[in-house]
Amino acid sequence: MLNYDLVVVGGGPAGMAAALKAKEEGVEKIVILERAETLGGILEQCIHTGFGLHYFGEELSGPEYAGRFIEQVEKTDIDVFTDTMVLNISGDNVVTAVNNNEGLMQFKAIAVVLAMGCRERPRGALSIAGSRPAGIMTAGTAQKYVNIDGYMPGKKVVILGSGDIGLIMARRMTLEGAEVKVVCELMPYSGGLTRNIVQCLDDFGIPLRLSCTVVKTHGKDRLEGVTVAKVDDKLQPIPGTEEYIECDTLLLSVGLIPENELSKDVGVELDRVTSGPVVDEYRETLHPGIFACGNVLQVHDLVDYVTEESQIAGKGAADYIFGKKKGGTFINTKGINGVRYIVPQRVNIEGEENLKLYFRVGQVYKGAKVVVECDGKILSSKKKVKLAPGEMENVTITTEMLKDMNKDSEIIVRVEE
Amino acid sequence: MKKSLICVSCPLGCPIEVEIENGEVISVSGNTCKRGDQYARTEITNPVRSLTTSVKVEGGVHPVVPVKSAGPVPKDKMFDCMKVINEATIKAPVKIGDIVIENICGLGVDIVATNCDCGK
């Protein structure tokens, strides 16, 4: 058994930021366990720019953003195991992992940070009729093929889902010579950032069809085409609107799912909306000593926020290790009227610092207000030019606001039109 | 004449209104920072984008290494740049920031590596 103060599961931007913050706070023995062959996580294949504007004040590509943290990790005495798969976390914080060189390893930790990220919803999660020809894959898989492995998975492409990865891949495939025929989006709005619709679709004349989905795939060995159809307001395909589109590749960008198998095994309670752990403002789960941050906690659209969140988790874990973590009275946060969820789900009313509540809305709003209230009293109200499901928002709760709360209080965030 | 744009300078994506008279920008509104103003003005006169792609690498851990244009290139020159980049092959080892192609297509912009590949 290897003894560590902190075991970080996952060496992407979340895991690295948490480990580095804990180191900065004085934690001595830290190890990062990473499944892939290098640190960096999904950023390694996100070669487009747009990362780091908030955190570094400059626009970096994914590998450059990751590179800055990898460099910092290498300068510390944080142990890193790559090509290493974590199999289990036990109730007393023993992390079991395996790799080719060391075989089976057990790490006894005082605290654990969960930073496993998320994965893409696969084809099997959708009900599309048709057989299983080659040429149907998630947008992230295609991204890896093109950007890491250096080959093009197809020539005529239809993309289902207008999340950011789908939009980015529409541009990437076009730049490399493929013809992207259409991006179909089930919802009446895009799930991606507006700027990606402009610079990935509009720039190249790629049409975006809203309220539209793929109902059937054609072809046996290789995809030959897809049938798309318009959907009604219940998201059901409308008979008679079907259209055949010839293509050899269908990319799916239909949602991301936090990868919480390890969390479930250890009994960490998950939030039904985020599919990530329920955490307090220090990003500690309901299981003492287990923290969570990054896409395993909630799917982010900006890595800068992942870094910010992971530093909170790293600080929280350090405080826990040193026995300094604040006890107190924890109350719940709740999103209503268009606010789908809030992270953190629990807030310490005896906390001594201002904190941010992160949330997403369920539909597009223009000129609506974000209202924060507690016990019938409005704490803040701010008008927003635009709110969209694809863009994470936040509100600040000040220590001043916390003063008037008691153990039965509940902080509510809602949209007011 | 008024034109509506979405700023692509950062992920905020501010909706911008530009007032144009005789091909000249009179006013820019809706932006939340200076970059938005700058973006709107160049977008009307000479739209530019930063280009990110990958280049073949010989002797690397992976067959390609990601690259970007060190500065923005004219939007209508993106495919010309892609052609040059796709015909190039570089040798490992490569470090972040290494110049892969100098002054691409005579645009005064270098293509630089955005990841390292220390080679096999």
Give contacts of B8 with chain A, Cβ < 8 Å: 195, 198-199
Averaged pLDDT score across all residues of chain A: 94
Inspect the interface and report whether the beta carbons of B114 and A148 lie closer than 8 Å.
Answer: no
The model's pLDDT over A20-36, given as tens digits with 9 standing for 90+, comes to: 999 999 999 999 999 99
ipTM of the complex: 0.91
Fold of B52-113: CPE0013-like fold (3.10.530)
The model's pLDDT over A220-242, given as tens digits with 9 standing for 90+, comes to: 999 999 999 999 999 999 999 99
Nearest in space to A189 (alpha carbons), one of A388, A395, A393: A388
pTM: 0.92
Nearest to B49 among A63, A199, A385 (CB): A199
The model's pLDDT over A97-112, given as tens digits with 9 standing for 90+, comes to: 999 999 999 999 999 9
What's the pLDDT at B28? 92
> Measured between CB atoms, does A57 come within 8 Å of chain B?
no
Alpha helices for A303-393 (secondary structure H): 303-321
Inspect the interface and report whether the beta carbons of A61 and B68 lie closer than 8 Å.
Answer: yes
Nearest to B82 among A175, A195, A301 (CB): A175
Q: How distant is the Cα of B23 from the closest Cα of chain A, in angstroms?
A: 21
Q: How distant is the Cα of B28 from the closest Cα of chain A, in angstroms?
A: 17
Give contacts of A194 with chain B, Cβ < 8 Å: 6, 13, 15
Inspect the interface and report whether the beta carbons of A195 and B10 lie closer than 8 Å.
Answer: yes
Q: What is the mean pLDDT of residues A157-161?
A: 97
What's the pLDDT at A157? 98
Chain centroid offset of residue A153 CA:
25
What's the pLDDT at B11? 66
Q: For chain B of 120 residues, list the mean pLDDT of each consecutive stretch of 10.
A: 84 84 86 89 89 96 96 94 96 94 96 92
Tell whether domain B2-45 is in CATH 2.20.25: yes
For chain B, the domains span: 2-45, 52-113
Are domains B2-45 and B52-113 of this chain identical in fold? Answer: no
Which comes out higher in pLDDT, residue A384 or A70?
A: A70
Interface mutation target, options A59, A164, A384, chain B, most CBs of B under 10 Å? A59
Inspect the interface and report whether the beta carbons of A64 and B62 lie closer than 8 Å.
Answer: no
Confidence band for A325, pLDDT divided at 50, 70 and 90: confident
* Contact in structure between A267 and A277 (CB atoms under 8 Å): no
pLDDT at A288 over 70: yes
> Measured between CB atoms, does A203 come within 8 Å of chain B?
yes
What's the pLDDT at A327? 80
Give contacts of B115 with chain A, Cβ < 8 Å: 44, 47, 61, 63-64, 67
Distance (Å, whole) CA A231 – CA B21: 42
> Measured between CB atoms, does A44 come within 8 Å of chain B?
yes
Q: Which two tokens stand for residue A73?
A: 């990790």
Domains in chain A, CATH or no CATH each? 1-120+255-325 (3.50.50.60), 122-254 (3.50.50.60), 328-417 (2.60.40)
Longest dimension (CA), chain A: 65
Q: What is the mean pLDDT of residues A140-149?
A: 96
Inspect the interface and report whether the beta carbons of A302 and B11 lie closer than 8 Å.
Answer: yes
